[in-house]
A and B are shown apart, each in its own frame.
Chain A
Amino acid sequence: MPDVLALLGDPTVRTVGASAVLLGGAAGGLGVFAVLRRQSLLGDAMAHAALPGVVVGYLVSGERSTGPILAGALVSGLLAGLAALYLSRLPRIKSDAALGISLSLGFALGVVLLTRVQASAGGHQAGLEAYLFGQAAATLRSDLPWLAGAVVLCMATTLVAWRPAKLTTFDREYAAASHVRVRLVDALLTSVLAVTIVLGLRMVGVVLMSALVVAPAVAARQWSSSFVGMALGAAAIGAGSTLSGALISASMPGLATGPVTVVVASALAGVALLTSRLKPRRA
């Protein structure tokens, strides 16, 4: 791939690459919590349901500026998560069904709104369809500092809460009995996951974002024997697949970033599954 290597000299490509590494790393690393806590579907629901927020953010601000759009995405994604939580507490509604409902309803609303906006005058200039499957090339250099800031904040939160979060993930009862505020840990981890998902929407898109959370963790679980090892491995795999997704899609016009990224991450997960089945189990 000489094209890809040549691209690395380009400042725009470096911007895209840096944000890909940041986002992919954060999504992969935090995905370890989501996967071990069986919250993969929650991430998926929040990502899909962020779409109406994207469109509303655009409509309110009247332009394609990143701040209002991501704020809208965060609000609607979290609303869907809360709605799912509420629904699953009702009798006769299982949590996977509740999440399925929030996911589809949120995404359907988003598509309706998106179609209306695009049909209106100048709608296509909005470029909102990039949020469906992601467009790494749309990342602006001016976005990089606050993107990095947000990722660092998410990581710092997770590091401070690391032991309570690990303990709550493994043994909730014991954690609660050991005076860990498990509800607070839940809320922190879910918020950090939601922020990471929203940050990644423009790069990977609402449809496939959750795969970037889940696939690296699944791959890393096969190779790692410690919690911190799994988290670091998942972060590396997330960063690597997002970077290659961004570079490959940037070098081929019209190719969205999300699908390429997810194909790379899932391929790695597939290889990990195969190799861990082939190697003899450690006694």
Chain B
Amino acid sequence: MVKGGAAVPALELSDVSVTYGQTLAIANVDLSVPQGTLAAIVGPNGAGKSSLIRAVLGLTTAAGDVKVLGRQGAAGRQLIAYVPQRTSVDWDFPADVLDVVLMGLYRELRWWRRIGRDERDRAMRALAEVGMADLARRQVAQLSGGQQQRVFLARALVQDADVYLLDEPLTGVDAPSEAALMASLRNLVAVGRTVIAVHHDLSTLQAYFDWLALIDRKVIAAGPLAECLTVENLRSTYGKQLMAVPGGWAAAYA
């Protein structure tokens, strides 16, 4: 783990903007996520949550500054493990679960190095962490959505990163998988890592997260969940969409 002092934010965005052609996806975003938090990034469809993640990962050209544990550019991005949306890949691929988890180690293996027992042990530990050890030899084409998502998290876990960035990890996931995923994420935070997830379900925010950023092309509010999760903030973020938000937030927070 990188020791940057507890005061250094895990993730710090200063004046970050992303534009696609003429369209402004996010504008002048300032955001500072402290270390050791389980943070949710929340906002309506088209609010620029994915653009924000892509800017942090360097997958899209962005104006402004991104620092990970105080480090800029590639040196900072090196400290992140990314968990993409499971629907972003074609799972009809000739590989078993262990193969996919081992992909998390490709970055540190030179091309001539064979994958050995050490690597396999690490991958198996990551699979055990997400409760998938017994499915290590299952073909990935035969997994359920929740199992796919757990495999993706395991692949990020073997990277042993400081910051975990997840894009909608709980979307379309069965209840046992959701519980397993959240348990793993809590374990990460317990050992001082930082977890930042794009999240869509307002009804589970309070139960799952301790830090919150509300985004709608710009930052509406950000901070500890207890301070940030107010009806007023939600209304400024979602506007008229608020009544249609899943999970019956109104009953919970009104």
Contacts and interface: CB of A to CB of B under 8 A. Distances in A.
B94 A230 contact: yes
Contacts of B93: 36, 169-170, 227
B109 interface: yes
B106 interface: yes
B99 A227 contact: yes
Given A164-B106, A176-B59, A229 B94 contact: yes
Contacts of B99: 226-227
A163 B109 contact: yes
B103 A225 contact: no
B22 interface: no
B84 A171 contact: yes
A170 B93 CA distance: 7
Contacts of A279: none
A31 to B, nearest CB: 13
Interface string B97-132: 001100100110101000000000000000000000
Given A163-B109, A178-B106, A226 B96 contact: yes
A161 B74 CA distance: 21
Nearest to B103: A167
B95 interface: yes
Interface string B195-226: 00000000000000000000000000000000
A186 interface: no
B134 to A, nearest CB: 12
A174 B84 contact: yes
B238 interface: no
A160 B111 CA distance: 6
B139 interface: yes
A281 B142 CA distance: 10
Contacts of A92: none
A169 B95 CA distance: 12
16 contacts: A36-B94, A161-B111, A163-B109, A170-B103, A171-B84, A177-B58, A177-B77, A178-B107, A179-B78, A225-B94, A225-B96, A226-B94, A226-B99, A227-B94, A227-B99, A281-B142
Interface of B: 57-59, 74, 77-78, 80, 82, 84, 88-90, 93-96, 99-100, 103, 106-107, 109, 111, 139, 142, 155
